[in-house]
């Protein structure tokens, strides 16, 4: 009698799960109503259930290796290739033949990771007894090629600071040099947005009427399709003025703009 009751209970649970999830979907164990597609179970790609049930206890496909304490599977060819693919770098630990630099804890590094200013070994032995930097030494200790200094791209915290810009370049307030044509193009290229800070007008393409009442040197082109629903920022005298409602007083393409 007890066995019959247990079978009935299991049947009711299965029936309840089937009613909760649509066909082709599975109820995440440990949840009341969270369903995921059957194809997402043990797909080794993403954790779809909020509690990780869909990727718990799943074996990796043939030719792949599971990173310890994770659900991530990597190619067996990636093991001991000096490139850390597992979150904790376990695929590069205890390698029999390390072609790069072997840390004291067994982690195998690429030669390029040694003396690069970043401690990759747990004990930091990859940054011990390093020769003087032959390129540019960042303030954090990282050594980068000398050609990367003042090239317009931040490679470390200070390789673009205090650079001398050419006459055709614009110098950002933080020292970065950018092409002069990027200044006041309505797109911030400097990290501090200083290339768009002192602009007196907003450039808009096409032949448009001008906003009356502004000095001719600071008139702002307005598109003829500019209507009462449009919003634009006008920069004048270092202050931002927002056009919230506007309409053209003339039905033709050329006319004055009432603000």
Q: pLDDT tens for residues 143-194?
A: 888 888 888 788 888 888 888 888 898 888 888 888 899 899 888 888 888 9
What torsion do the CA atoms of 94, 95, 97, 98 make, to the nearest 10 degrees? Answer: -90
pLDDT (average), residues 6-13: 39
Two tokens, residue 247? 């309409």
What range defines the domain where residue 253 resides?
200-259
Say which CATH number the domain at 71 has: 4.10.400.10
Strand partners, 92: none
pLDDT at 210 over 70: no
Could you give the 3-state DSSP secondary structure of residue 91?
helix
Number of domains in the chain: 2
**8-state DSSP, 128:** S
- Decide if 51 is inside a domain: no
On whether residue 242 sits in a domain, the answer given is: yes
Of the candidates 104, 129, 154, which is a domain's last residue? 129
CB 151 within 8 A of CB 145: no
Helix (H, G, I), strand (E, B) or coil at 194: helix
Please report the pLDDT score of residue 221 as a whole number: 53
Buried b or exposed e, range 198-216, using 16+ CB within 10 angstroms: eebbbeeeeebbebeeeee
Q: Which tokens go with 229?
A: 């629903």
Residue 254 lies in a domain: yes
Confidence class for position 115, pLDDT limits 50, 70, 90: confident
| Residue 181 C-alpha from the chain's centroid | 27
20 lies in a domain?
A: no
- Assess contact for 92 and 107: CB atoms under 8 A: yes
35 part of a folded domain: no
pLDDT at 197 over 50: yes
Q: Which of 82, 114, 129 is the last residue of a domain?
A: 129
In a domain, 255, yes or no: yes
Give the separation between CA 211 and CA 223, rounded to whole angstroms: 11
Last residue of a domain, one of 79, 95, 129: 129
| Position 259 in a domain | yes
**Looking at the domain assignment, is residue 194 inside a domain?**
no
């Amino acid at each position: 009698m007890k066995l019959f009751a247990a079978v009935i209970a299991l049947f009711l649970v299965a029936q309840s799960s089937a009613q909760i999830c649509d066909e082709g979907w599975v109820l995440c164990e440990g949840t009341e109503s969270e369903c995921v597609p059957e194809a997402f179970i043990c797909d080794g790609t993403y954790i779809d259930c909020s509690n990780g049930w869909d990727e718990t206890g799943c074996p990796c496909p043939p030719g792949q290796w599971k990173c310890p304490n994770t659900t991530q599977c990597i190619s067996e060819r990636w093991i001991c290739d000096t490139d850390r693919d597992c979150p904790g770098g376990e695929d590069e630990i205890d390698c029999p033949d390390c072609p790069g630099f072997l840390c004291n804890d067994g982690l195998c590094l690429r030669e390029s990771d040694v003396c690069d200013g970043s401690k990759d070994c747990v004990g930091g032995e990859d940054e011990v007894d390093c020769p003087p930097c032959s390129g540019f030494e960042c303030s954090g200790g990282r050594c980068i090629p000398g050609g990367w200094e003042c090239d317009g791209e931040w490679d470390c915290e200070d390789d673009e600071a205090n650079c001398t810009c050419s006459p055709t370049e614009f110098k950002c307030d933080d020292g970065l040099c950018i092409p002069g044509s990027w200044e006041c193009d309505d797109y911030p290229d400097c990290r501090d947005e200083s290339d768009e800070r002192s602009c007196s007008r907003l450039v808009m393409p096409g032949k448009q009427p001008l906003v009356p009442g502004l000095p001719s040197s600071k008139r702002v082109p307005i598109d003829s399709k500019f209507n009462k629903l449009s919003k634009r920022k006008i920069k004048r005298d270092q202050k931002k003025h927002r056009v919230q409602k506007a309409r053209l007083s003339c039905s033709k393409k050329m006319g004055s703009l009432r603000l």
